[in-house]
Structure 1
Amino acid sequence: MNLGLLLSQHGPAVVRYALSGAGGGFGRTLLAQTLLIDALHPSVLCDVDPEKVHALCLELGYDADDLVICRTADELTRTDARKIAIVPGADLLDPERFDILVEGTGSPAHGYRMARAALTAGRHVAMVSKEVDSVTGVELARVAAAHDVVYTPADGDQPANLLALISWVRTLGLEIVAVGKSGEYDVVLDGDEIRYLDTTVPAGDLPGLMTLGDDIGQTLLKRAETVKSLKLRAAADPCEMSVVTTHGGFVPDVEPLHYPLTRISELADVYSLREDGGILGKPGVVDVFTVLRRPDEASFAGGVFAVVRTGDAGTWKLLEGKGHVVSKDGKYACLYLPYHVMGVETAISLLSAVRLGVGSGVENPRQNAVMAGRARTDLPAGTVLTMGGHHHEIDGVDPVMLAIEDAPDDTAPFYLAAHATLARDVKAGELVTFADLADADAGLVDAWTNGLRA
């Protein structure tokens, strides 16, 4: 498909976007890429630290004369609409100045309110904040439809990239067994050491476990033992996959997700059904794996995959000979995109939404699964479920994923519980419920409840 041709035939010559959370890492990648795309203009940049955003724009090469910090509505009104307005708060996100909002704060409550306000004002929304989407995505899609605008996950992050891959695979008529992504960082076997980010541990038995052998489950268990001291799981992973369940209809196979330590060439064997030697108890699941590789091997780079059932044996034997990942028994194949380059590719979502009225997800998403939280330790009443860190973890709470039909009715979504205070004790191993929360954000509660009814 010629995307350039398709996206240039409709809509405004220049798509104006507003960006919330503009001072973050994603904001940098989108703003840098925008300088290379004549069809995009960053008309409003919102961040609690406008000076930081101003400095970032100058560093990237924006003209100082085009940047105006506006702290009040009056200052914004007096600023030429052709300039780039940098504002400190959501109340200054004037919908008259943009065609689409790119929401990138990562704050469930603030992000939801900004997105809803934009949609009700007749503006499209590209959602980068998976934390917002995991709680309110279904409701925001409903609001968008009611106002004849687009609400979409943003290309460049794994949910939208995986949904695009799923759409492509389904259009080709292939039956999907599993979809998912790799974790953000790889386990690298380097001689007699294992490297993971800036941590190094002894390799132990891992050098002898670099092939799956005949018993895949046992090999994966032994690999997991060699890296048990490393924290390979992050809340961002099930959060991203929960967005995919909303649009793709997939559900988790197990609530903590499998997270197998796996080489890329093994994915078709690992994500086969148990009766065929793999790890899956059922087809149609979503999961996350950790890449295992040597230093001279390419990374999956947080990319996305779909494991499919093969059809004609001769076709897939031919494809296997060309280097495609096919299971040993020839029943499964893995198709994958080994990248997610953040704001570098978000322009596709922005142009598609504004010019074509098309998003990355399905027209009528529904809540097929819930990303919830289980207490890791006993949590006494009065505990504030503080969210923080690069991956937005909640202290003392482990993220889990459950199919909606398997989740108790009062299960609280993980990022709805974030920052709330516990009204009562929660024992280790218990799911956090709505009844456990003394001060859950009312807007998020309403959005989640409305989404369940959709």
Structure 2
Amino acid sequence: MNRPVARYALTGAKGGFGRTLLAQTRLTPRVEPAVLCDLDVDGTVTMCRELGFRADELAVCRSTDELAARPPGTVAVVPDTGLLAGGDHDVLVEATGSPAAGYRAAVDALEHDRHVVMVSKEVETVAGADLARRAGDRGLGYVPGAGDQPANLVEWFTRTREVGLEVVAVGKSGEYDLVLDPATGRLRHLEQEISVDDPERLLSRTAAIGDTLRARAEAVAEIGRSAAADLCEMAVVADATGLTPDVETLHYPVARTAELADVYALAEHGGIVSRPGVVDVFTVLRRPDEASFAGGVFVVVRTHDPVTWQTLAGKGHVVSRDGRYACLYLPYHLMGVETPLSILDVAARGAAAAPANRGRHVVLGGRARAALAAGRTLTMGGHHHDVDGVAPVLLDVQRAPAGAAPLYLAAHTTLARDVAAGEPVRIDDLADPDPALLEAWRAGASS
């Protein structure tokens, strides 16, 4: 039986995610690229050639006329999302990372009756509720991309809930580990290295996990471990699950994988969690010869039948010392390698593939790191899409400051007035927010 091929358009095609998706779909039956969009057209073509595309498989199209006239069966490479409407595809994979451009591309896709796989978490945290509503109104699918942490964690959380486990905490590891060599006392995080005293003490734990976490936090205090991307991903998870942060900056404990059930126990049982149902991020601490958590995801649950969990602990599963909690985890996120699954699923099932019961539960906002003067532009950049001068915070929507601006609505805007150090950036502080994004944010409040 011949099964239909799912054809997709990809924005941000030359980015790291785009390459992993294109590399994988060269190997994936029934998933094919139709249109690749990136400002760097020549660079996109060069990347595709490196991935094994023949020159005659690619057609650079800089206008609607060129797009319409391209040879049948070729993959169009375009510089402008406005050209996507003329492509022959069923699904848009949005991966620009640009809040405004990504939102426009997604709206245009939905208006042309195409499903959307949303990879740009920056777009999702501002306009996700609005886009999900638009898709639902048209019977289309709007889904996260499998292989990235939000989709992986939402699926993992859903599985644990479906089998009746009580979830205490969910989260992921930061993108990069703390790697400690006990032989040298050198601790590395990306390109930064420091020396630590008594490395074996940091690698082991005391009877009280809180004492261990405090000692580690002090030892690595000079290393910056939090990133806007982490909070952005947890915002997506929060809105999809209803779980919310315990603290607005997240806990970021330095922990080893085998300790997670103890770390994310309730405070009354020695852990760091003040209440059940939180999202968080931890930093992996490991030896050089130990496997990484690889930006993977975890769910910490309460145990029930002691014999069941003693049996599982005996098989090497992560169970707390007191037996009350267990950590279930996936130690990987494969980016675009798994995203073809989302493309196939949404092309086949449409709206039925979309996560159920999503809503707005958090605001990914920002506080001024230092006093910000009126007239300053809040630039966004870097690998983690940080906003210059603004510390990201994840706020429960019920307790967020009135008028708090979502971080990626504030990005690239100019301040209309001064913002004091430590104060939240509010929508009224922004002189020139993108009108469509602002409307989408406000519309999403009632979704």
TM bin, normalised by shorter chain, reads over 0.9
The alignment status of 1:439 with 2:432, answered yes or no, reads: yes
**Structure 1 segment 54-93 matched on structure 2, within 5 A:** 54-93=45-84
Task: Pick which of 357-366 and 316-325 moved more.
Answer: 357-366
Give the 3-state SS of the residue equivalent to 1:405 in structure 2.
coil
Partner of 1:168: 159
Q: Deviations over 1:392-449 (max 9, x none)?
A: 0011111011100010230000111000111111111000001110111111111111
CA shift, 1:60, in A, is 0.5
CA distance in structure 2 between the partners assigned to 1:323 and 1:357 by the alignment: 39
Give the 3-state SS of the residue equivalent to 2:281 in structure 1.
strand
The alignment status of 1:125 with 2:116, answered yes or no, reads: yes
Asked if the contact 1:268/1:334 (under 8 Å) is kept, the reply is: yes
Compared CA separation, residues 348 and 292, structure 1 to 2 (3 A): same
CA shift, 1:364, in A, is 3.6
Q: 1:48 aligns with which of 34, 39, 44?
A: 39
Partner of 2:217: 224
Compared CA separation, residues 73 and 235, structure 1 to 2 (3 A): same
Amino acid at match of 1:323: G
The alignment status of 1:332 with 2:325, answered yes or no, reads: yes
Partner of 1:134: 125
Q: 2:134 aligns with which of 123, 127, 143?
A: 143
Amino acid at match of 2:167: I
Give the 3-state SS of the residue equivalent to 2:398 in structure 1.
helix
CA shift, 1:38, in A, is 2.2
CA shift, 1:102, in A, is 0.3
CA distance in structure 2 between the partners assigned to 1:224 and 1:336 by the alignment: 23
Give ranges in structure 2 of 5+ residues lacking alignment.
Answer: none
Q: Deviations over 1:301-329 (max 9, x none)?
A: 00000000111000000000000000011
Partner of 1:106: 97
CA shift, 1:82, in A, is 1.3
CA shift, 1:91, in A, is 1.0
Partner of 1:4: none
Amino acid at match of 1:20: T
CA shift, 1:359, in A, is 6.5
Give the 3-state SS of the residue equivalent to 1:453 in structure 2.
coil
CA distance in structure 1 between the partners assigned to 2:372 and 2:84 by the alignment: 39
Amino acid at match of 1:218: D
Task: Pick which of 85-94 and 217-226 moved more.
Answer: 217-226
The alignment covers a number of residue pairs equal to 445
CA distance in structure 1 between the partners assigned to 2:93 and 2:426 by the alignment: 31
Q: Percent identity?
A: 56
Asked if the contact 1:95/1:121 (under 8 Å) is kept, the reply is: no
The alignment status of 1:244 with 2:237, answered yes or no, reads: yes
Q: 2:27 aligns with which of 31, 36, 40?
A: 36
Task: Pick which of 444-453 and 283-292 moved more.
Answer: 444-453
Partner of 2:415: 422
Asked if the contact 1:271/1:307 (under 8 Å) is kept, the reply is: yes
Give the 3-state SS of the residue equivalent to 2:419 in structure 1.
coil
TM-score (norm 2): 0.98
Q: 1:404 aligns with which of 384, 390, 397?
A: 397
CA shift, 1:95, in A, is 5.4
Partner of 2:269: 276
Pairwise CA RMSD: 1.3
Give the 3-state SS of the residue equivalent to 1:416 in structure 2.
helix
CA distance in structure 2 between the partners assigned to 1:284 and 1:177 by the alignment: 5
Amino acid at match of 2:26: L
Task: Pick which of 191-200 and 205-214 moved more.
Answer: 205-214
CA shift, 1:360, in A, is 6.3
CA distance in structure 1 between the partners assigned to 2:108 and 2:399 by the alignment: 33
The alignment status of 1:198 with 2:202, answered yes or no, reads: no
Amino acid at match of 1:93: L
Partner of 2:310: 317
TM-score (norm 1): 0.96
Give the 3-state SS of the residue equivalent to 2:445 in structure 1.
helix
Asked if the contact 2:34/2:87 (under 8 Å) is kept, the reply is: no
Task: Pick which of 102-111 and 443-452 moved more.
Answer: 443-452
CA shift, 1:197, in A, is 1.1
The alignment status of 1:350 with 2:335, answered yes or no, reads: no
Give the 3-state SS of the residue equivalent to 1:45 in structure 2.
strand
CA distance in structure 2 between the partners assigned to 1:285 and 1:341 by the alignment: 24
Compared CA separation, residues 174 and 377, structure 1 to 2 (3 A): same
CA distance in structure 1 between the partners assigned to 2:72 and 2:171 by the alignment: 42
Q: Deviations over 1:372-402 (max 9, x none)?
A: 1011111111110000001000111110111
CA distance in structure 2 between the partners assigned to 1:304 and 1:80 by the alignment: 43
Compared CA separation, residues 81 and 282, structure 1 to 2 (3 A): farther
CA distance in structure 2 between the partners assigned to 1:166 and 1:333 by the alignment: 14
CA distance in structure 2 between the partners assigned to 1:213 and 1:347 by the alignment: 44
Asked if the contact 1:154/1:360 (under 8 Å) is kept, the reply is: no
Compared CA separation, residues 359 and 436, structure 1 to 2 (3 A): farther
CA distance in structure 1 between the partners assigned to 2:220 and 2:45 by the alignment: 42
Give the 3-state SS of the residue equivalent to 2:403 in structure 1.
coil
CA distance in structure 2 between the partners assigned to 1:384 and 1:220 by the alignment: 38
Q: 2:246 aligns with which of 234, 238, 253?
A: 253
Partner of 1:3: none
Q: Deviations over 1:223-259 (max 9, x none)?
A: 0111111111110000001000111110000000000
Asked if the contact 2:248/2:395 (under 8 Å) is kept, the reply is: yes
Asked if the contact 1:187/1:290 (under 8 Å) is kept, the reply is: yes
Amino acid at match of 1:232: R
Asked if the contact 2:38/2:79 (under 8 Å) is kept, the reply is: yes
CA distance in structure 1 between the partners assigned to 2:255 and 2:120 by the alignment: 28
Give ranges in structure 1 of 5+ residues lacking alignment.
Answer: 1-7
Compared CA separation, residues 208 and 371, structure 1 to 2 (3 A): same
Give the 3-state SS of the residue equivalent to 2:113 in structure 1.
coil
CA shift, 1:296, in A, is 0.9
Give the 3-state SS of the residue equivalent to 1:279 in structure 2.
coil
CA distance in structure 2 between the partners assigned to 1:125 and 1:167 by the alignment: 21
CA shift, 1:205, in A, is 4.4
CA shift, 1:206, in A, is 4.2
CA shift, 1:105, in A, is 0.4
Compared CA separation, residues 67 and 94, structure 1 to 2 (3 A): same
